A = this chain, B = another copy of it.
Amino acid sequence: MDIDLLKKLHPFFHKYPPLVYKKGQVILRPEDKIENIYFIEKGYIKFYILSPEGKELTYLIYRPGYLFPVIYAFLGEKNKYYFEALTPVVLRKIPREIFTRLAAKNPDITFLLSQEIVRRFVELMDRAQFYTFGRAYENVADVLYTLGKNMGTDNGKSLSINLPLGHKDIAAIAGLTRETVSIEMKNLQEQGLIIYGRNHIVIKDTDKFRQKTGI
């Protein structure tokens, strides 16, 4: 787990001053030149792109312990993406070249980071299946389940996601419209599979949820 990553990286970043962002604030936008690597100490970050027509597609949500933008940490290309505080966050930033040197000297960090990247890669591949083949309800179900697994707390049978996710946030992850997500969320609630609240979503019975939704 990336708890390791949090432990490993924290000492290096801790000497830099904490940066606090409020929910909804954009930390990096496409035009920004990437000179720093950010470390998430607290809170959640939404990583998304805006299509030319202004539609949002959320690729991933980052949790404490992760770094961004990893792409530029490794490749140094031009930025195309948005990084936004999904909740209040505390970050630390470190100049890119210092991070690169750090990674070169600490192969265990590079390895752990690679693991994390691969893990996210797999997550994106799984999502891609639903983008292309999935029905709307499968797509929504997969988003909820994936969020639960990655961000949620596992209460044995149930799974709670304590994030302020509105229908449109879910829509942006699922690649659907808000209206469609509304319909599917209502279905899931009526089937008694989830509880949906302002700041949390609960998958009541994970096995039942997966079985009923077919994911």
Contacts and interface: CB of A to CB of B under 8 A. Distances in A.
Interface of A: 49, 51, 53, 55, 57, 59, 70-71, 74-75, 77, 103-108, 110-111, 113-115, 117-122, 124-125, 127-129, 131-133, 175
B71 A121 contact: yes
A114 B74 contact: yes
A151 B74 CA distance: 21
A118 B125 CA distance: 13
A122 B175 contact: no
Contacts of A51: 129, 133
A59 B125 contact: yes
Nearest to A139: B132
A210 to B, nearest CB: 13
A124 B133 contact: no
A175 B53 CA distance: 22
26 contacts: A51-B129, A51-B133, A57-B128, A57-B129, A57-B132, A59-B128, A70-B118, A71-B118, A74-B111, A74-B115, A74-B118, A75-B118, A75-B122, A104-B107, A104-B108, A107-B110, A110-B110, A110-B114, A113-B114, A117-B118, A124-B124, A124-B125, A128-B131, A131-B131, A131-B175, A132-B175
Contacts of A105: 107
A127 B59 CA distance: 12
Contacts of A113: 114
Interface centre among A55, A105, A111, A127 (most CB of B within 10 A): A111
Given A129-B57, A132-B131, A175-B132, A117 B111 contact: no
A133 to B, nearest CB: 5
A124 B53 CA distance: 20
Contacts of A118: 70-71, 74-75, 117
Contacts of A125: 49, 59, 124
